[in-house]
Amino acid sequence: MLLTAYLLGSIPTGFLVAKARGVDIRTVGSGNIGATNVFRILGKTAGAFVLLADAAKGWLAVAAVARFYAGWDHSGAGSPSLEWFKVGAGVAAILGHNYTCWLRFKGGKGIATSAGVLVGWVPLALLIVLGIWIVVFALCRYVSLASICAAFALPFAVWLLGRSPTLILVTGTLAALAIYKHKANIKRLINGTENRIGQKPTPPPPSPKATA
């Protein structure tokens, strides 16, 4: 189950879509294979497709294991609960996306895939953090900052909804992982060099030879 969920999550959608257009997405823009970089480089249609496909990977992993669990004889003492099955599948799918075996374990940041997993885990928490994402993005136009704020709020949203300590701990861990994957964005935000959506990339400073 875990291996199947990992392999499903590891499908590098952004890389494959860009490759079909003759572009190695790892060498342009931010170098990330996620939907945001695809959106910047290949446009809205390609970016939206990658976003939905990456989210679908997470949801499908959780939905498939729930269906498997429903048809499995788990009446014996000590049988794992459905929640543990969903948690295992969701975490494996996110790790597959973030550390895909097809690209030397270098993948995306897991935001879209995590959103798909949340649909299968606790959809109301997804609506809460999505609202936070929209508000932050509308105010600053930074996708990275909106994603960081939404990730930070996730375990608190799960806690407010009264879900189990296991799910609170897991979502908190995944939120920390998502924020860690944005470490380069955080540095650019601090330095004031992070690009906003709709803004042309900041050109590099001229070399000393060019200004001599």
Domain boundaries, the chain: 2-203
Give the sign of the dihedral formed by CA 70, CA 76, CA 77, CA 78: negative
pLDDT bucket at 33, cuts 50 / 70 / 90? very high
Measured CA distances, 145 to 12, 162, 189 (Å): 23, 27, 8
Query: Pick the residue with more confidence: 87 or 78?
Result: 87
CA torsion 100-102-106-108 (nearest 10°) is -60
Measured CA distances, 40 to 43, 45, 100, 199, 204 (Å): 6, 11, 22, 10, 18
pLDDT tens readout for residues 113-162: 999 999 999 999 999 999 999 999 999 999 999 999 999 999 999 999 99
pLDDT tens readout for residues 49-58: 999 999 999 9
**Mean pLDDT, to the nearest integer, of 189-211?**
66
Question: Does 195 have pLDDT greater than 90?
Answer: no
Question: Does 78 have pLDDT greater than 50?
Answer: yes
Rounded distance between C-alpha atoms, residue 123 and residue 205, angstroms: 45
pLDDT cut 70: percent of the chain above it: 90
Rounded distance between C-alpha atoms, residue 191 and residue 91, angstroms: 32
Q: Output the pTM of the full model.
A: 0.86
Q: Give the mean pLDDT of the chain.
A: 90
Give the sign of the dihedral formed by CA 180, CA 122, CA 56, CA 134: negative
The per-residue pLDDT for 69 is: 85
